Structure 1
Amino acid sequence: MSRDIDVLVLGGAGVDTIVYVPELPLPYADSYMIDSGIRTRAGQTGDFVAVGLSALGMNTHHLDLLGADPEGELVRALHRDRGIALTAVPQPAGTKRAVNLVGPDSRRLSLYDTSRAHADDRIPPDTLRPLAEASRHVHVSITHPCAHALPLLRETGAGLSTDLHDWDGENPYHEPFALAADVVFLSAAALTDPERTLRDIAGRGRAEVVVATAGAEGAYLLADDRLTHIPPVTPPAPVIDSNGAGDAFAAAFLFGRLTGEPPHRCALYGAVAGAHACTVPSTETDAITRDALLARVADERRRTGRPGPPTVP
């Protein structure tokens, strides 16, 4: 079987409206003057992972439901401009959208419009199967239709990854994703005991690697039954906001995995890419390139003594 696609990104396509606010939580007021502007741009979690992988030289294909609306056109234009293949299944309810409030300390509060989905939404199997069978790896967003795709994806033999985002370790919605994937990403923000959650995911599911990102504190990597703290990487410019940092981490980690790097090296790739993302305004989409990633990893090795990357084919 020929697997010409490096990564199929499933789900997570949509549009965000970015609002920089003076503080979070935002105190009640009749109105606020937003001098920085209120801007709508294409890019939710699946879009950002696809853009990140493509910038790193991975042959990437994105599959999701999209509406025949202006928001859907923004998503299509993003992929077209970046040369990323996109298969859009018609979504009568419209393209997913959200409002992100970003505070001065770079924290984000996201408001998701759940009206753009229906309980019976599905990715058609005759669309999904051939794309998955042509892919070395599938990265699965935790949007509703993707949960129903997990059994089919496992049948295809492609590697699977997912990002549980701010899972608390208890919400049952996330469990099918956590237990089906070979590589699991999540944020440590809502975890009282990250190690327990990571080991629970690996112990009950299929995960070979589980990573909990912890912002400025770095990340926690569980691989080969060993938990390791991954130190943070100093961003190359001032931190503006953290939107997309987790997606950048996942994309760079998967790049490392698919080019044969060990888990600790993959995590360093992720840390470098995540730090880069924190220097990019939410209103822009500017993923780190392959050359820049490898150069910054080499710089990090010289600065800290961390193991550096071998030559990547």
Structure 2
Amino acid sequence: MSVSSEIDVLVLGGAGVDTVVYVPELPLPYADSHMVPSIEARAGQTGDFVALGVHALGLRTHHLDLLGADHHGDLVRALHRERGVALTEVPQPAGTKRAVNLVSPDGRRLSLYDSTRGHDGDRLPPETVRALASVSRHVHVCITQPCAHALPVLRGTGATVSTDLHDWDGANAYHERFAYEADVVFLSTAALADPERTMRRIADRGRAGVVVATAGAEGAYQLLDGELTHIPPVAPPAPVVDSNGAGDAFAAGYLFGRLTGEPPARCGLFGAVAGAYACTVPATRADVVSREELLGATSP
């Protein structure tokens, strides 16, 4: 495989399809059946959204993951083709990853992931990972199982690394290899009893120079050089309809700031604006904030 140009952001993993179901409330009361406004499948899981996000902000982007030779894989391929995001796919015999997202009227989400779409032996080819990472400025690693085995390959490629631990509880050992191998670590405070303690443990035990914990409507927190600061929330530009993809959008906005040389506080502002925008987009659409919208919302 030959790569002809430099890549700003290489995204590993996280390609798949969500079936979005709008429900009257969460938790959903038990009943034999419920009438819902719509049930719609659309391409876009965490890696897809990060890739779309940084690409829309003008960064040269490449996405690498396993995909099945199935209808769901075709949806993912079409999404990347339509948005102009380069995609390298590895055959996935078990089929393309998929999930069902239950979305309540206030935008909260419950995701159900299909555990049959993969097996323990799944791998991203090391030679492919190395070739792409070696011509990339930065690699964002999703916490899917094949990406865990790709982490050692990234060492020595010259690329910085980020990851998103999502709603880690601070105890599950699976997440630790990602947390301690990344230069930039994103996570949510949702399942953390003591967010600051967890953030400091990540910084102390791993190589992260910055740890960012998103806290929904409360904004986010940034740990840098031992100092914890608050990133204020940003008012969404339209009514909140869905929180799906908000964390991915925050990561994309933050990475855009970091890779364009902005100071940490402004990187956090970019993340907050992108995350707020994502909350105004229905889960059935894979829309992300544009560079013009982001810079317009953050201009002095």
Where on the TM-score scale, by shorter chain, does this alignment land: which range? over 0.9
In structure 2, what is the Cα distance between the partners aligned to 1:73 and 1:263? Answer: 38
Secondary structure at 2:186 match in 1: strand
Counterpart residue identity of residue 18, structure 2: D
User: Could you tell me how far 1:3 is from its partner in structure 2?
Assistant: 7.0
1:227 aligns to 2:228 (yes or no): yes
Aligned to 1:101: 102
In structure 2, what is the Cα distance between the partners aligned to 1:69 and 1:50? Answer: 21
Counterpart residue identity of residue 10, structure 2: L
In structure 2, what is the Cα distance between the partners aligned to 1:208 and 1:5? Answer: 22
Aligned to 1:137: 138
Pairing 1:1-313 to 2, within 5 Å after superposition? 4-34=6-36, 36-298=37-299, 308=300
In structure 1, what is the Cα distance between the partners aligned to 2:174 and 2:50? Answer: 21
In structure 2, what is the Cα distance between the partners aligned to 1:15 and 1:151? Answer: 28
Equivalenced residues, count: 298
In structure 1, what is the Cα distance between the partners aligned to 2:242 and 2:86? Answer: 28
In structure 1, what is the Cα distance between the partners aligned to 2:223 and 2:129? Answer: 30
In structure 2, what is the Cα distance between the partners aligned to 1:267 and 1:228? Answer: 10
Cα RMSD for the two superposed structures: 1.1
TM-score with structure 1 setting the length:
0.94
Structure 2 gap segments, 5+ residues each:
none
Counterpart residue identity of residue 24, structure 1: L
Aligned to 1:301: none
User: Could you tell me how far 1:262 is from its partner in structure 2?
Assistant: 1.3
User: Could you tell me how far 1:155 is from its partner in structure 2?
Assistant: 2.2
In structure 2, what is the Cα distance between the partners aligned to 1:170 and 1:225? Answer: 22
In structure 2, what is the Cα distance between the partners aligned to 1:15 and 1:5? Answer: 25
Counterpart residue identity of residue 251, structure 2: A
In structure 2, what is the Cα distance between the partners aligned to 1:19 and 1:263? Answer: 37
In structure 2, what is the Cα distance between the partners aligned to 1:40 and 1:182? Answer: 34
Counterpart residue identity of residue 62, structure 2: H
Aligned to 1:305: none
In structure 1, what is the Cα distance between the partners aligned to 2:172 and 2:267? Answer: 28
The percentage of aligned residue pairs carrying the same residue is: 75
User: Could you tell me how far 1:125 is from its partner in structure 2?
Assistant: 1.0
Counterpart residue identity of residue 70, structure 2: D
Counterpart residue identity of residue 76, structure 1: R
In structure 2, what is the Cα distance between the partners aligned to 1:157 and 1:171? Answer: 29
| Structure 1 segments (4+ residues) deviating >3 Å | none
CA contact (8 A) 1:142 1:162 kept: yes
- Give deviations 1:77-112, integer Å, cap 9, x for gaps: 000000000000000000000000001121100000
In structure 2, what is the Cα distance between the partners aligned to 1:272 and 1:297? Answer: 8
- Give deviations 1:246-280, integer Å, cap 9, x for gaps: 00000010000000011111010000000000000
CA contact (8 A) 1:10 1:139 kept: yes
Structure 1 gap segments, 5+ residues each:
299-307, 309-313
- Give deviations 1:5-25, integer Å, cap 9, x for gaps: 000000000000000100101
- Give deviations 1:196-231, integer Å, cap 9, x for gaps: 010000000000010000000100100121101111
User: Could you tell me how far 1:192 is from its partner in structure 2?
Assistant: 1.0
Secondary structure at 1:114 match in 2: coil
Counterpart residue identity of residue 79, structure 1: H
User: Could you tell me how far 1:160 is from its partner in structure 2?
Assistant: 0.0
CA contact (8 A) 1:250 1:270 kept: yes
Secondary structure at 2:34 match in 1: coil
CA contact (8 A) 1:3 1:135 kept: no
In structure 2, what is the Cα distance between the partners aligned to 1:219 and 1:192? Answer: 15
CA contact (8 A) 1:3 1:133 kept: no
Counterpart residue identity of residue 11, structure 2: V
In structure 2, what is the Cα distance between the partners aligned to 1:150 and 1:125? Answer: 10
CA contact (8 A) 1:256 1:269 kept: yes
